[in-house]
Structures are given as structure tokens and as C-alpha cells.
Structure 1
């Protein structure tokens, strides 16, 4: 590797510079691009003459492709490195965004949305992998919350920003502008990322794990993946279904709903930053006999999020719906920070573990909104959709009651570390 001197190379290798000026902005752009079709859905529906169920399928097909490719994306990132994975991903999804502005038929929309999911697939896995390479264990909650903040600022701003761009340039102009911005930033990532890009090969020791221990590593991966699936189910309602819910439940226009759409996104942004700072503070106060109760925090966070989601759906007034939706995304924010800091605690194949977690989460995020729209279409009531919140909560909270302690040490209260992850 070439060693460069000077201020430029120093900044390119600084972990906080990379996080704040490269990783956070690329996820801001991803957040805006991902929600653009949701905000513009009323205009797109009129342009190509489709119903809300088919519109939900168009919105979520990219998430489904994104989900299916998470494990391959983790392996791919592990092989080629963070720099190539991130810049290539941004390039591909930006081209897909530009192509969206040219579509006139449903088939063309499905094609470009599939390309969008293909392009976005390596982004989050590569970013989590970069945090693992750049930051120490004590800094990862703060780094994870900052990275999530960039994504959720994109979600928060997208409601107002996209509504303004739609009014000024139409939905085709909106996608063209967003795509061009992404093309520029893909080049910035490629030329400015100077941090570590590949994981160092582990040293071989006489204590090479035996086959039984390798099998045990499946359980913690399944636990965090199922938990993240429940979290993503709540989040997908707030990010995909919420706009249609507002316009069908209350007498407001699509442009008004687009502005209100930003309220739960702002709550999500605030929650991830506050959660990261609070967890970091609590971990600094840890003692040998009193550690941070991560397992309990995950259970409380997901129960709160799903209860608020049900409250938002069942509330009789608009302002109560907005309060509950903000509460739901606040719970999601806490769970997101806990999820990705836990994933980074795996010392080996972190990108693959992140891929498995994102696979389940995005699979739920892709089918959840479609199920919601189908339930509403057949039941003619949003109350049936509130039952989905109970399913999310039971699955995501219940998985942490599966014991991970083994043998005599477990009975004596000694925690077991499997694949480097901490089990409470």
C-alpha cells in the first residue's frame, strides 16, 4: 500500500472524518432515495394507473431484493473491501434512481426497483464492517448511533424535501436530481476513503474452535436476526404504509401527509443519537458485578415500539396518531443501536453476520407493508393491521428468552461467549 503524507492523507485515514463526511452522507442519500417513491406514490399511481396494493409492491420490491442479497453482499464486501463495495453500490443505485425518472409502465418500474435493491444491498453491510475496522469496542455505540443518524436524517428530511421537489419539478425531475447527486458522491467515496478496507486474517492457535462450538454460533446470529426482523416490521409501517394510512384515515392531502411523514422520522433520528450517548455513558459506569443490561433493553425497546405502533393505528385523532408514531420510531431507534453494536461484537465474519441480520430485517420490511395493504383492502379497517404489531413484538422479544448458557458454568450464572458475542 502506498504511504502518503500530508494533511489530505491524514484526513482520509481519520476514523471520525470517514464516519462524519463519508459514511453518514452516503446513508443520508440512501435514506432520501429509499423514501422518494413512498412520498411520490400518489403522483406515480396517477401517472401509471395502479392501485395502492400494486404501489406497495413497487415500493417494497427493492427492499425484497436488498434483503435477499444481504448475505452475498456481506461475503462480497468481505472479499473486495469497504471502499470498492460502497462506491460501487452508490454508483449502481444512483443509476437506478435516474432510470426511474424515465419509466412509463409497471414492468419498467419493477425492473429499476430491482436494480435499486441490487445497488443498495452492500451499503449497510459495508458501513457496519467499516465501523468494526475503524472503531474500538468502547466507541461502537456512539459510532453506530451517528451512522444510523445519517440514514434517519435522510428519512426525516425526505418528507419535506421530496414534497418540495415534487411541487417544483414533478416526480420525474425528483428522481433525476436525486440520482445525479448520488453519482457525484459515489466518486467522492472512491477517491476519499482512506481507512482500512479489509479484515485481517485471524491468527491460527492451538485452541482452534471445534465443530460443536461452530454450531453454537448459529443461535446468537438467529437471535439478533429475528429481533431485527421485528424492529424492521414496525419501522416499515412508519416508513412505507404510514403515508397511505394518514390519507385514508384522516381528511388530509398527500402533500400534507408528506410533511407529517417527517415527524416519526425526526423522532427516530433523535432516538438513535440519544440512545447511543446514553448507552455509552452507562457502559462507562459498568463494574465487574454490574454490566449494561443489553438483553433487557432490547426486550423493553421492542415492546414499547410495537405497543406504540398499535396505538398509532387505533388512535381516533390525528395528533394522537402522530404522538404514538413518534413513540414507535423512538423505540425502533433504541433497538437499532442495540442491534448493530451487538453485531459488531462478533470478531469473525462480521460482514456475513451483518448480512444475515439485514436479510431477515429487510425481508420483513419488504413483505410487511404488502401484508398491511392486503389486510386493509380485505378488512376495510386498519384495526386488523394493529394485530401485526403484536406478532412483531412477540417474535422479537420472545427470542431473547431462549437460553444461551450451557453446562455447569451457565447454572452458576457464568455467561458464555460464542463467536465473540456477549450473551446476557
Structure 2
């Protein structure tokens, strides 16, 4: 009788979902307390926007090194260090009052969160088959955007019961609990995990993209730079994260200023677009895998869906900025972020497709440029909102979307950046 394979890999997908929730709650909670924090620390919008910029600078600078280190030392060790690091600096965000030191804390916080996605990319390449990576990549992303769904309610509750500083203390403490669990259960390879039976182990090894998983290899940068797809995936992700970063930091403030919503009633409203984004990340990740399993090309399964996501975002944005009723605006903003969520998920799946054995490095490269975008957008949006208002600020994003759609036609997920024979 054929042994039925275990499903330990999907428990790790759930673990990454939870880690994503914690990481993005730690990252996004600052946007929800923008009002009291700016008032207490005497910060302007531009100064507050710089907090996100410094976070993104640290996060971006460590992307490629994180990918290289995750490939060298393994995702378990890298993610353990990252969780400890960013949880500590989450707590320090509530302690520091000096503007300069606070910028430094957020910069170091960004460095701490940087290994999360590259480590996940390496882990997924080791643990999942080529036809499962869409869903596997979606798990961390879905958790990341479920964080902003529940963060508003939790954050408002903590602020109401205590103060805005307590938000950082409590969220940081949760991170320390998570790292203990991760250190106990995680293994870099399914071959090393006692709960993975032979059937699951054989299935993964026979169907994953990576060859000789676990071997330490140096990323062949000269080969990467010969392929325009290496640049194209970075440019389109710059646009994706420029837009997501803007909404992550400024969505609560935008809603309050445009529709005069009170801070205490903001929780549910601010979470609805992120919930829609979460659902689309999961749903379209599954659709992408199904298309691949049905024999469609990786460009159809990844690229075409990513382009559809960009189009959905554009339609939602055009209607959102013309909505005079708050509830209608929130509904269209949900469409916006749903579209961007679709493209985000496909970006990570495509990075793993073209990276193969070097998925950590390629994902880190892509996320580097994504977070350059995320670094710039909060500051630029804050300045533009003061100068020309939110409507024109948001409308200007459509120019970037056109560029990103164009770039997707040059991302070649069916072609690995480094062919197997080139590594021999």
C-alpha cells in the first residue's frame, strides 16, 4: 500500500502566515498612532514620513545581504536572528523621544525585518514543489497584510487602555514569544525534519525547482546582470512597494482628513482594504498554481495575473478618488489594494521561478528596489499631500502603474536566470 504523504510543509506555510502578521503589525501600527505620536513628539507630516523612510532604508539595504546569508546559513537561523532583532527595536520605538535617535531606531528596525522575505523564499524553494510556490509565497504575504487588518482594532484598544507607547511594548513582546516557537519547530530542509514522512519527502525532492538543496553556492551576479528580466522584476516591484508603502503609512490619515473620521472609529474602516488584499493574495496564489499545474506557462500563471492586478488597482483608484461617500471610498480602496496584492504575490512567485537555487538572492534584489520605493513614497506623499492635496497625489500613481505593466512583459518566469549547465 502506498504511503500517504504528510503535509508538514503546509504547517510551515501557516507558521509564515503568523510571522507575517506579527511583522506587519509591528511595521504598520505606527501609521495608526500617527496623530497622537506626532502631537506628543511635535512632528510635522514630513518628519513623521521620515520615520517610514528610515525604516525602508534599513530594510532595503539589507535585502540582498539577507538573501545571500539565508542561502549560506539557512532560513531557520536567519529568521530567528531577525525576529529577535526587530522585536527589540519595536520596543525601543516606544521608548525613544529624540527625533534623531528615533530615526536611527526605525532604521535598525528595518534592518531587523529585512531577512524575513528572502529567508522565506529560500525556505519555500527547499520545501515546496514548483506547482505549490504560488500558494507558499502567498502565505507570508497574506499574513503580512492580515496584520494591518487586525492592527487597527488592537492598536486603538491598546492606546485607549494605556497610551501609544504601550503599542510598541506589547507588539515587541509577542515577537519574542514567536521566535522561541520558530526555533523549536523549524528545519532548513524537509530531509532533516522528523515529522516529514518518506512520501512527502520524496514528493518535495522530486518536484522542487532547486537542485542539490542545502549546498552552499555563491550567487553568479555576472550571469544575473546579463538578463533584462533581472532588472524588470526589480522595476515593477519598485512600483508595487511604492504604492503599498504609501497606503500602509498614510491610509488612516487620508481617511481621517478627507472624510473627517474620528480616530477612535478608524479601526474597522482602516482594516477593510487590507482584508480584501489578503483574500486576493491567497485566492490568486492558488489560481496561479492551478494554471501552472494545468500546463500553462509560468508567464501566464504569474505575469498575466500580475498585469491584471495592476489594471484592477488602476480602476479602483480612479473610482476611489472620485467618491464623496466614505463607505464607497473604502470599498474602492479595497479594490485598489486587492489589485496590488495580486501583483505582489505574483512578484514573489516569479522571483523564485527565475532565481531557482538563488531564490533568496534574487528575491532580496527584487525587494531591495521595492523598498527603495517604499522608502521614498511616505515622504513624497506627505509632501505632495500638503502641497496639492490627496486627490492629485493618489492620481499621480497611475503613471507608475503603466511603467510596471510594461516591465512585466520582460519578466521571464519560464527562464531561470542561471541554467543548470551554467552552474556546472
TM-score by length of 2: 0.85
The answer to whether the 8 A contact 1:234-1:305 is kept is no
Q: Give 1:285's aligned residue.
A: 294
Q: 172, 175, 180: which one pairs with 1:179?
A: 172
Rate the CA distance shift 1:394–1:367 in 2: closer, same or farther, 3 A. same
Tell me how far apart the structure 1 counterparts of residues 290 and 65 of structure 2 sit (CA, whole Å).
36
Rate the CA distance shift 1:389–1:38 in 2: closer, same or farther, 3 A. same
Q: Which moved more, 1:337-346 or 1:308-317?
A: 308-317
Rate the CA distance shift 1:258–1:60 in 2: closer, same or farther, 3 A. farther
Tell me how far apart the structure 2 counterparts of residues 283 and 193 of structure 1 sit (CA, whole Å).
28
Tell me if 1:259 matches 2:268: yes
1:244-393 to structure 2, matched below 5 A, reads 244-286=253-295, 292=300, 294-345=302-353, 346-379=355-388, 381-393=389-401
Rate the CA distance shift 1:304–1:65 in 2: closer, same or farther, 3 A. same
Please state how far the C-alpha of 1:420 moved relative to its aligned partner: 5.5
1:315-354 Cα shifts (integer Å, max 9, x gaps):
3221221111100111112112211111111223211100
1:252-301 Cα shifts (integer Å, max 9, x gaps):
1122233311011101111111112222233333369x983533322221
Q: Give 2:244's aligned residue.
A: 235
Rate the CA distance shift 1:25–1:397 in 2: closer, same or farther, 3 A. same
Tell me if 1:216 matches 2:230: no
The answer to whether the 8 A contact 2:45-2:382 is kept is yes
Tell me how far apart the structure 1 counterparts of residues 55 and 64 of structure 2 sit (CA, whole Å).
16
Unpaired runs of 5+ residues, structure 2, are 191-211
Please state how far the C-alpha of 1:146 moved relative to its aligned partner: 2.1
SS in structure 2 at match of 1:315: coil
SS in structure 2 at match of 1:137: coil
Please state how far the C-alpha of 1:69 moved relative to its aligned partner: 1.6
Rate the CA distance shift 1:71–1:291 in 2: closer, same or farther, 3 A. closer
Tell me how far apart the structure 2 counterparts of residues 60 and 258 of structure 1 sit (CA, whole Å).
24
1:333-376 Cα shifts (integer Å, max 9, x gaps):
21122111111112232111001110111111121121111112
The answer to whether the 8 A contact 1:233-1:368 is kept is yes
Rate the CA distance shift 1:174–1:274 in 2: closer, same or farther, 3 A. same
The answer to whether the 8 A contact 2:299-2:412 is kept is no
1:177-198 Cα shifts (integer Å, max 9, x gaps):
1111111212222222124299
Tell me how far apart the structure 2 counterparts of residues 259 and 225 of structure 1 sit (CA, whole Å).
33
SS in structure 1 at match of 2:356: coil
Tell me how far apart the structure 2 counterparts of residues 84 and 304 of structure 1 sit (CA, whole Å).
38
The answer to whether the 8 A contact 2:252-2:266 is kept is yes
Q: 59, 78, 81: which one pairs with 1:66?
A: 59
Tell me if 1:98 matches 2:91: yes
Please state how far the C-alpha of 1:60 moved relative to its aligned partner: 3.1
Tell me how far apart the structure 2 counterparts of residues 123 and 401 of structure 1 sit (CA, whole Å).
28
SS in structure 1 at match of 2:357: coil
Please state how far the C-alpha of 1:52 moved relative to its aligned partner: 1.4
Q: 4, 8, 16: which one pairs with 1:14?
A: 8
Please state how far the C-alpha of 1:214 moved relative to its aligned partner: 5.3
Q: Give 1:76's aligned residue.
A: 69
Rate the CA distance shift 1:420–1:306 in 2: closer, same or farther, 3 A. farther
Tell me how far apart the structure 2 counterparts of residues 107 and 151 of structure 1 sit (CA, whole Å).
28
Q: Give 1:419's aligned residue.
A: 418
Please state how far the C-alpha of 1:215 moved relative to its aligned partner: 4.4
Tell me how far apart the structure 2 counterparts of residues 238 and 63 of structure 1 sit (CA, whole Å).
14
Rate the CA distance shift 1:112–1:312 in 2: closer, same or farther, 3 A. same
Provide the aligned length of Structure 1 versus Structure 2.
Answer: 393
The answer to whether the 8 A contact 1:231-1:335 is kept is yes
Unpaired runs of 5+ residues, structure 1, are 1-9, 204-208, 406-414
TM-score by length of 1: 0.85
Tell me how far apart the structure 2 counterparts of residues 193 and 287 of structure 1 sit (CA, whole Å).
33
